[in-house]
Structure 1
Amino acid sequence: MPGEETEFFSCNSVDRSDIHNEDMLHIYTPEFLNSLRTSGLPNHCIKLKVGTPIMLMRNIDQAEGLCNGTRLIVTKLAVHVIDAKVIGGKYHGNVIYIPRVPISPSQSPWPFKLTRRQFPIIVSYAMTINKSQGQSLDYVGLYLPKDVFSHGQIYVAVSRVKSKKGIKILIHDETKQAKTSTTNVVYKEVFHNI
């Protein structure tokens, strides 16, 4: 039924060769593994509706523009695949099919290797400046609650939009008072070892 939310749950596994103490195996319960979150790993439970904006978290098919950071809109939900339409860029409007895939974090914060079989997506109503790099957008809302911390980052953020009319910037100080400017912070210490 249109508008109904669907939940997709992952299947998690742990590489037992990484665990040298057999007594540790009993603490890696399904509930524990399902609760784990880290960068680059989709959540155990993903809630979606048709029309939800999502972003790919992995390169699926670079030749077709399906790369980490590609933005899409969900068009159909099935048990083992999500139909989605690319929004923006060279492949705008293309309908793609996203399968569940096994994903392990590239840098695991845990003393074991977790593999999560899930759709390589995240619900994405907003994105970081780094994720926006290389995209051309009609409208950009830029929220800067503190000064931009990396040289060139403000340029990347404002240069994503196609026209001056398409950008809105919200800047405020620690007390939530509106500001009209921000500082492009450059730490001189970065340049000492060059």
Structure 2
Amino acid sequence: MHPNYLTERAILAPTTDVIDQINDYMLSLLPGDSVQYLSSDSVSSTDQDSSSFQDLYSTEFLNTINCSGMPPHKLSLKVGIPVMLLRNIDQSAGLCNGTRLRITYLGKNFIRAVTLNGTSTGDQVLIHRMDMNPSETTLPFRMTRRQFPFIISFAMTINKSQGHSLTNVGLYLPRPVFTHRQLYVALSRVRNVDGLKILILDSDSKPTNVTRNVVYREVFQNVHLE
């Protein structure tokens, strides 16, 4: 695979469960053994009731939690795959939340990668484990997960694709989009319509050419055009 092949390509889908399925499938197609990194999970010590929560929730339970903005407990990676950063690490170096990278080396305590987009495209960087807290959660406690701060990024959610400009986009819609203007965001990620491929499935999981475009007209009620 050419080093720049992944720079201009991505698969988009509305929800994280669909994205996880695509990324797991793509990872299984690549030759070689994957390297698995396990996180260290705990109840944050900044939580006033952390001691009582630690007694209530076991480490095994914390390992099963998947929240938006956090990598999984079991992170399986291979050299050559694209990943996406989930935290701002160094904005001056272009290492921001949403930056895509291609892995070049998998070490025990650090991972080396090349940036695929942003202000420092093509730079080699070293990434280590870091403590992360979920950005949004309904948990009754604050959780800390120590893990490498990224997820596999053959595919990404439409929301995460904002800010990216790509040559080739595959849009996978096993069910319709569900938020305001989400379909517009997905279609506008590609520079030319010739680089856009769309797969839409109906309620019976059969290919179709029709989907719903969600637009909340209430958003425009207080907009006054001059």
Fold equivalence (TM over 0.5): yes
SS at match of 1:41: coil
Tell me the distance in 1 between the aligned counterparts of 2:97 and 2:51.
37
Which has the larger displacement, 112-121 or 29-38? 29-38
SS at match of 1:63: helix
SS at match of 2:71: coil
Partner of 1:49: 78
Partner of 1:11: 40
Partner of 2:93: 64
Partner of 1:37: 66
Structure 1 residue runs of 4 or more that deviate by more than 6 Å after TM superposition: none
Partner of 1:178: 207
Instruction: Tell which structure's C-alpha radius of gyration is larger.
Output: 1
Structure 1: which 5+ residue stretches go unaligned? none
Compute the TM-score of the two structures, normalised by the length of structure 2.
0.74
Tell me the distance in 2 between the aligned counterparts of 1:8 and 1:151.
36
Partner of 2:158: 129
Partner of 2:189: 160
Aligned residues: 193
Q: Match for 1:92 among 121, 137, 149?
A: 121
Report % sequence identity: 50
Which has the larger displacement, 141-150 or 128-137? 141-150
* CA shift digits 1:93-142 (9 cap, x unpaired): 22111111111113342222211111111112211111111111121001
SS at match of 1:18: coil
Residue pair 1:19, 1:25 contacting (<8 A) in 2 also: no
One-letter code aligned to 2:192? S
Query: Could you say which structure has the greater relative contact order, defined with CA pairs below 8 angstroms and 6 or more residues apart?
Result: 2
SS at match of 2:156: coil
Residue pair 2:84, 2:151 contacting (<8 A) in 1 also: yes
Alignment CA distance shift 1:92-1:182 (3 Å): same
Which has the larger displacement, 126-135 or 24-33? 24-33
Measured after TM superposition, the shift of residue 144 of structure 1 is 2.2
One-letter code aligned to 2:186? A
RMSD between aligned residues: 2.5
Measured after TM superposition, the shift of residue 149 of structure 1 is 3.6
Tell me the distance in 1 between the aligned counterparts of 2:45 and 2:88.
27
Measured after TM superposition, the shift of residue 81 of structure 1 is 1.1
Alignment CA distance shift 1:11-1:24 (3 Å): closer
Compute the TM-score of the two structures, normalised by the length of structure 1.
0.85
Tell me the distance in 2 between the aligned counterparts of 1:46 and 1:24.
25
SS at match of 2:92: helix
